[in-house]
Every structure is written in C-alpha cells, then in structure tokens.
Structure 1
Amino acid sequence: MAELSIETLFQLLKESAGEEEGIDLSGDSMDREFELLGYDSLAMLNTVSRIERENGIRLPDSVVADARTPRELLDEVNNRLQANA
C-alpha cells in the first residue's frame, strides 16, 4: 500500500514554496498551522497538485481549506491513498 511520508510532504512543501531550506522537522511542526510555518494558500495549492499528480489521486478542494497542519494534510492524503489501493 502506498503511503506519503512526512519527509516527502515537507520536501514537496519546500519545493512548492520555492524555499532553499525545508521546514524544521523537530518539535511540533506536524501540528503547527501552515500559516505559522510560513506557507500560504498558493504554496498549499501547488503542494496538493503535486501530491495528486505524483500519486494518481484526486483530493477534494476542501483539503486545502480544511487541512490546517501537516498532520491533517498527511492523514487526508494517506486516507485517500488507502481508499484507492
């Protein structure tokens, strides 16, 4: 079964936002809101688009609006991947 790792998610976020350095994975980054981590809606749209393309899934538009933290986005993506397996 395919699963998106947190490391891959953070790499996609970094690339989608055009950052030279990634998110610090230490501490509570998984549960901090994207806005506090420095990611705006455009970075989120780009990230979700890449996840969809690279994993052959379609995520509802509400994912970008509703997933406020990396953990919430990762859970939603992995639930969709499991459903499509």
Structure 2
Amino acid sequence: MSAFDLNELRAILRQMGDTDQADLDGDIEHMGFGDLGYDSLALLELCSQVERRYGVQISDDAVLDMPTPARAVTYINSLLTAKAGA
C-alpha cells in the first residue's frame, strides 16, 4: 500500500462535506484543523473514514496527536506502517 499523503487527506475532508470550511488546495499542512474550520467532531469523522478505507484502528484520543494536516498524515502513516509490519 502506498503512503497516505496530504492529497488523500484533502479528498477525505472534501467527501465529508462542508467544503466551504477552508481552501483545501492552499498551503494547509501546518494550519490547525480549528483554523481550517474543522472541530473535534469533524476530526473523529476523519478518523472513522481512515479506519474504513485503510483498515487501521484509531483511538478517539488520537485527535490530540493530529492538530494539523501534516501531523495527521504522519500519524496515519505510522499506523499504516505498523499494520504492514504486522
């Protein structure tokens, strides 16, 4: 499986709806999800979408490890790497 990247994250956020939140095509990597208009419930939905698409388990507390899109991509890739190594 290829690595999860910012474009994959953008696609999931767009499919979640509320595309008026922020310009997802801009330089969003280091912006906080709150600054992009996504609250904690939206992050839980993001985690749920990733779980379904990629077959990984993400705890509800993981949103604390993903304050920005860049950190979310890194965190999700660490889960995918661990899954591949299992």
The alignment's TM-score, normalised by the length of structure 2, stands at 0.83
1:41 matched to which residue of 2? 40
Runs of 4+ in structure 1 off by over 6 angstroms are: none
Q: Is 1:10–1:23's contact at 8 Å kept on the other side of the alignment?
A: no
> 1:46-61 to 2 correspondence within 5 Å?
46-61=45-60
Alignment length, in residue pairs? Answer: 83
Would you tell me which structure has more helix in proportion to its own residues? 1
> 1:61-72 to 2 correspondence within 5 Å?
61-72=60-71
The alignment's TM-score, normalised by the length of structure 1, stands at 0.84
User: Percent identity over the alignment?
Assistant: 31
Q: Secondary structure, in 3 states, of the residue corresponding to 1:36?
A: coil
Q: Secondary structure, in 3 states, of the residue corresponding to 2:18?
A: coil
Over the aligned positions, Cα root-mean-square deviation in angstroms equals 1.7
